[in-house]
């Protein structure tokens, strides 16, 4: 009964707790939590915090009624998409935890004659555990959204930085520059095949002079791309194979024997244009 009475007290004071939290804000440039945020944003923060209180108290009342996950996912998604630094939201959790516990202390002060130290210890453990649970969930979802955004941005960058450059109606160049992981190698393959078909190319020169290292997975993906281009009737030439990459390819069991290879791009182009003129 004492615990239920505490929960009812906390629900009844949700508005007051939220108001204190909003009032305690300070000026933070370009932050959703700044004291100078527009009224509509302050209203949104108010509703989000009140929902947090109700969800938190429901969890304290019934551990099986855990709806913190959906709340944390929604807020984490908003904060990640708005690029709010994680530390700022964690700081707000810390500030509000202090306010929340102050209201628990107010309840204890009002009903001190009927409350034991065991009650206080139990409330302390359960409340702090619930806050920790909320922070953990928020952090997990925040990183999921952030990672997804980073991967999406990487995909766009990779597509922009690995174009096929047509230099004639029949010949295109695919320059590959920088580090290549398996994900990027797959994107290069998909983009190259699609673009080669669109341009109706007969020859593609894959220039890897700007690639530093090639591991087994990346090499396999690139050579799979080459085979698919050949199946489409496109002749593939490779240029820029440095000695260390050639040595690595040999160690990996990759056979360059069936491919036209040149040390420099200009040599490959000279060969292809001469071949076309004959």
Domains of the chain and CATH, by start: 2-154 (1.10.490.10), 165-277 (3.30.750.24)
Residues with Cβ within 8 Å of 152's Cβ and at least 6 positions away in sequence, in order, are none
Among 21, 43, 24, 47, residue whose Cα is nearest residue 100: 21
- The pair of three-digit structure tokens given for residue 222, joined into one six-digit string: 């690139």
Residues 149-207 have pLDDT tens digits of 877 777 666 665 567 888 888 888 888 877 777 777 788 888 888 888 888 888 888 88
Count the neighbouring beta carbons within 10 Å of the beta carbon of residue 33.
19
- Cβ burial, residue 257 (10 Å; 0-12/13-18/19+): exposed
Rounded Cα distance between 149 and 153, Å, is 6
Q: Is 21 helix (H, G, I), strand (E, B) or coil?
A: helix
Reading the chain (278 residues) residue by residue, the pLDDT tens digits are: 788 999 999 999 999 999 999 999 999 888 999 999 999 999 999 999 999 999 999 999 988 888 999 999 999 999 998 889 999 999 999 999 999 999 999 999 999 888 999 999 999 999 999 999 999 999 999 999 998 887 777 766 666 556 788 888 888 888 887 777 777 778 888 888 888 888 888 888 888 888 777 777 777 777 788 888 888 888 888 888 777 667 766 776 666 666 778 878 888 888 787 765 55
DSSP-assigned states of every residue in 25-63: ----TT-TT-TT--HHHHHHHHHHHHHHHHHHHHHHH-T
Rounded Cα distance between 267 and 5, Å, is 84
Q: Is 153 helix (H, G, I), strand (E, B) or coil?
A: helix
């Amino acid at each position: 009964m004492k615990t239920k009475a505490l929960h009812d007290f906390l629900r009844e004071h949700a508005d007051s707790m939220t108001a204190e939290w909003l009032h305690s804000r300070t000026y933070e440039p370009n932050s959703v939590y700044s004291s100078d945020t527009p009224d509509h944003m302050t209203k949104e923060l108010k509703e989000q915090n009140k929902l947090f209180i109700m969800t938190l108290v429901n969890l304290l009342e019934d551990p099986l009624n855990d709806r913190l996950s959906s709340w944390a996912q929604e807020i984490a998604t908003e904060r990640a998409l708005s690029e709010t630094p994680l530390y700022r939201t964690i700081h707000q959790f810390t500030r509000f935890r202090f306010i929340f516990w102050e209201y628990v202390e107010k309840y204890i002060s009002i009903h001190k004659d009927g409350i034991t130290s065991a009650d206080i210890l139990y409330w302390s453990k359960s409340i702090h555990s619930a806050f920790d649970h909320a922070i953990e969930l928020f952090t997990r979802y925040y990183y999921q959204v952030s990672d997804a955004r980073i991967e999406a941005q990487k995909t766009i960058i990779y597509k922009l930085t690995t174009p096929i450059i047509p230099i004639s109606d029949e010949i295109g160049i695919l320059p590959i520059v920088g580090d290549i992981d398996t994900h990027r190698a797959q994107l290069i393959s998909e983009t190259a095949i699609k673009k080669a078909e669109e341009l109706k190319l007969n020859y593609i020169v894959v220039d890897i002079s700007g690639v530093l290292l090639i591991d087994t997975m990346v090499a396999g993906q690139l050579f799979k791309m080459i085979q698919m281009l050949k199946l489409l009737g496109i002749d593939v030439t490779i240029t820029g194979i440095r000695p260390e990459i050639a040595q690595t390819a040999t160690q990996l069991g990759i056979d360059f024997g069936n491919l036209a290879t040149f040390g420099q791009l200009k040599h490959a182009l000279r060969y292809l244009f001469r071949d076309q003129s004959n």
